[in-house]
Structure 1
Amino acid sequence: MPDESSYLLPSPSLTPDGATGGVNNRSSRFSLTAAAGQSAAAAILVVIGLTIVFFNTSQHDGSASSLLGYEMSGNGKKVLKKALNCLGNKYSCMKDDRYSKVTLKRAYELPYAALFQDQRGQKKYEASDVTIVGDEVYSVCDNSWAISRFGKSLLPFNEENVQVGDPNRVPDEDSGYEAIFHHEGLFYVIRESVYHGDREERKYTPEVGEYHAIIEELELSENDYTVVNECRCEFEFEGDSKGFEGAVGFPDEDGVLYIVGLCEGNHCSESRKNDVGNGRVVLMKKSEDPEMTQCVWETVRVVNIPSSAAFLDYSAIDITRDGRVAITSQEHSAVWLGQAKGIDNGVIDPIGFDFEFEVKSKVLQFPKDGGCHTIYCNIEGIHFMNDDMLMAVSDKMKSKGRQDFRCHDKDQSIHAFVIP
């Protein structure tokens, strides 16, 4: 029986999605039973990989003999590596008799481009978060200033699916919206991390710092919205690329709103982002200075996420009224499900808020393709639809070869999954 961590938390280094599909069709002809987890099966895979590479290489450069004991060319090494990667990916799913227990099941999904009758000039949808209010879904994209609104059924080209507000509210500038939630008639949207200095003179106020998230409070109408308030966060980031990636809000027993902001990088840091298992959330409370007419979301405290969420990045968060938690990782194509304490019936105890380290949590992976490759590569938003289902949104895939071609099919989309 393999170690549980091997399938509960797929690692990018162990699932090389950069492998080409050239050998996938041939490798799919072979089937291994669950009992093939022995060393003999691994040896068979190597032989199969070598055989495939033998034929592929011989067709291209006539140097197949190099694979049988002679020095291998650079191209041959690459082909061999890709062949073994493809076989290894598929084998990792086939050997796991608990795949259905640790993998979300896709229920339905739709690209953003198929949602709206009126695209409003938008050709890309870098989706970053999603929330559900009543029977309506609201979503933000970090390249657009509009708020997307549509029904949970995700009917294509439905007239009720609209972009609220001007997508180009600030010309030639992306919104940087990375989170959205609703509280008492207002929508709170978070701009990940914004430079607060003078870009031309490279000056900034020392007591403020350079990079801070901004929280906008929006009042939505049928087709537009009004910015009611706009406040920076006291918490300082190292740059504009590893700020808040998700957020939820709860009132305390006195009705004062607290925001839980999810940091994208481990330790809330750019320089220490790869120190896995050190996720953080920042608990914040708004403070307004009547003399300076300024508002700031002050840091109440920083709370550690349990190390069982051993992710390279943290891309979205949702917490239900009874404290159930979902935190996703884009890099791992996975979601951590756990429990928070200090949240009861939608009310937060800011002193007692924490994550339950003793309560059993689990990591579930998003579905793979037929070759066990990652296809949900850009999950950036998550929300509980009910006790048994999650809704997620995907950003645009990275260009210029930074992500595998298999990431293309599911990008810029909204998805519904069943929790096993």
Structure 2
Amino acid sequence: MVFSAQELLLVRESPLAALLPTGHSHRWEASGVLALDGRLYVVCDDLRAIARLGENLLPTDDVVTLPDGRGRGYEDLAHDPATGRFYLLVESLRHGSRWMARVEEYDADLQPVSHGWLDFDLPSSNKGMEGLTCVRRSGTTYLLGLCEGNFCADGSRGRTPGGGRIQVFEQRGTEWAQVASVRLPSTLPFRDYSALGARNEQLAVVSQESSALWVGRLEPGEWAVRDAGTLYSFPRDQHEKVVYCNVEGVSWLSDHDLVMVSDRAKRDEQPDRCRVKEASIHVFALPEVGPRPSP
């Protein structure tokens, strides 16, 4: 898909295997990232653990195995600054006759607190919630979940651009009730959605297939986007081919800088060039400002 967009500026990046111990995984199939107090928390869809890195991307052995990890792997994570709680997302699981996303809640020390369901019907086991972020308004914590497919659907409808949706949930007991739906701009050319981050009402949404990022703002006090926002593409190779093929997590470092992670390339489905940036962590700057110096 061809569209006009400014290109993100790469600040620094590294394969996760170069930063994390090999004893936990040989692949580090990164699926979500959270920037918090100078640390980068990374989850993988092949592990029940959280890796913690510094923003300078130096090697570390700080990997926390979750004592009550119930999922088959995690799709994303979010944090509530008011309570210190962490929320880990499992994309889609069978719950009775329904497919639903599950959220596991952990305290500031990553000890389990509870787990519950996001009360929203998903189309299947592999077309669920791909991104999770936390927004606090008027003393209430809300979790925002990004549907992978357009119109929260699978099949051809899910791949029809213009139906990006973010579902809004409020905790009631251990469960999470859907209270609103945010419609992304109908002009977005994305066929899929793979990551969501929020900072001060500013949203970042990634499309893996489009190798692009959308940045927009929520209307104050409303669950609606303010305008069409801005579209950015990931850098291409010397032949203008996509190399950032598997971006699956995003989090704001500042108002102009973002950290992202990439999953492992699909050997049977994607070209060899997609392996160049796979299973890695990346820091980008929005082009209006330019890259920040490394710490």
TM-score, structure 1 as length reference: 0.65
CA distance in 2, matches of 1:111, 1:361: 31
Partner of residue 300 from structure 1, selected from 179, 187, 190: 179
Question: Is 1:112 the equivalent of 2:16?
Answer: yes
Name the counterpart of 2:196: 317
Contact between 2:142 and 2:170, CA under 8 Å: does it hold in 1?
Answer: yes
Show structure 1 runs of 5+ residues with no match.
10-101, 197-203, 289-294, 343-348
Superposed CA offset, 1:87-116 (max 9, x none): xxxxxxxxxxxxxxx111211101111112
Q: Provide the C-alpha distance between the structure 1 equivalents of 2:262 and 2:24, rounded to a whole number of angstroms.
A: 20
1:85 corresponds to which residue?
none
Q: Work out which of the two has the higher radius of gyration on C-alpha atoms and give 1 or 2.
A: 1
1:75-94 residue pairs with structure 2 within 5 A?
none
Answer yes or no: is 1:212 the counterpart of 2:116: no
Which residue of 211, 217, 234 corresponds with 1:333? 211
CA shift digits 1:218-260 (9 cap, x unpaired) = 1253xxx32111001110111111111111112221x221111
Which structure is richer in relative contact order (CA contacts within 8 A, separation 6 or more)?
A: 2
Residue aligned with 2:273, SS:
helix
Instruction: Give the 3 Å change call, closer, same or farther, for CA 168–231 of structure 1 in structure 2.
Output: closer
Asked whether the 8 Å contact 1:333–1:365 carries over to 2, the reply is yes
Report if the CA contact (8 A) 2:135-2:198 is conserved: no
Write the distance in 2 (CA, Å) between the matches of 1:273 and 1:135: 36
- C-alpha separation in 2, matches of 1:169 and 1:302: 29
Q: Which residue of structure 2 lines up, in the alignment, with residue 267 of structure 1?
A: 151
1:335 and 1:365 in contact (8 A); partners too = yes
Aligned length: 284
Ranges of 4+ aligned residues in structure 1 off by more than 6 Å: none
Rounded Cα–Cα distance in structure 1 between residues aligned with 2:180 and 2:79? 22
Question: In the aligned structure 2, how far is the partner of 1:267 from the partner of 1:299?
Answer: 15
Q: Which runs of 5+ in 2 are unaligned?
A: 288-295
Spell out the pairing of 1:142-291 with structure 2 (5 A cutoff).
142-155=45-58, 157-158=59-60, 161-166=61-66, 174-175=72-73, 177-183=74-80, 184-196=83-95, 204=96, 209-221=97-109, 225-253=110-138, 255-271=139-155, 272-288=157-173
Residue 365 (1) aligns with residue 243 (2): no
- Letter paired with 1:397: A
Assess if the C-alpha contact under 8 Å between 1:243 and 1:264 holds in 2.
yes
Deviation (angstroms), 1:6: 4.9
Q: Percent identity?
A: 33
Which amino acid is 1:407 matched to? C
Q: Residue in 2 aligned with 1:410?
A: 277
User: Deviation at 1:182?
Assistant: 1.0
The equivalent of 2:247 in structure 1 is 379
Q: Whose helix proportion is higher, 1 or 2? A: 1
What is the aligned partner in structure 2 of residue 353 from structure 1?
A: 223
Once residues 67 and 11 of structure 2 are traced to their aligned partners in structure 1, the CA distance between those partners, rounded to angstroms, is 29
Is 2:38 the partner of 1:8?
A: no
1:396 aligned onto 2:264: yes
Distance 1:169 1:247 in 2: 17
Counterpart-to-counterpart distance in 2, 1:388 and 1:147 = 25
Shift of 1:162: 1.5
After superposition, what is the alpha-carbon deviation per residue over 1:303-329, rounded to whole angstroms, capped at 9, x for unaligned?
Answer: 2111232200011111211x2221110
C-alpha distance after superposition, 1:169-198 (max 9, x if no partner): 56xx732x11211112111111111112xx
1:148 shift after superposition: 1.1
Residue 168 of structure 1 and its aligned partner are, at CA, apart by 10
CA–CA separation in structure 2 for the residues paired with 1:153 and 1:367 = 21
Return the letter of the residue paired with 1:299.
Answer: Q
CA distance in 1, matches of 2:136, 2:69: 30
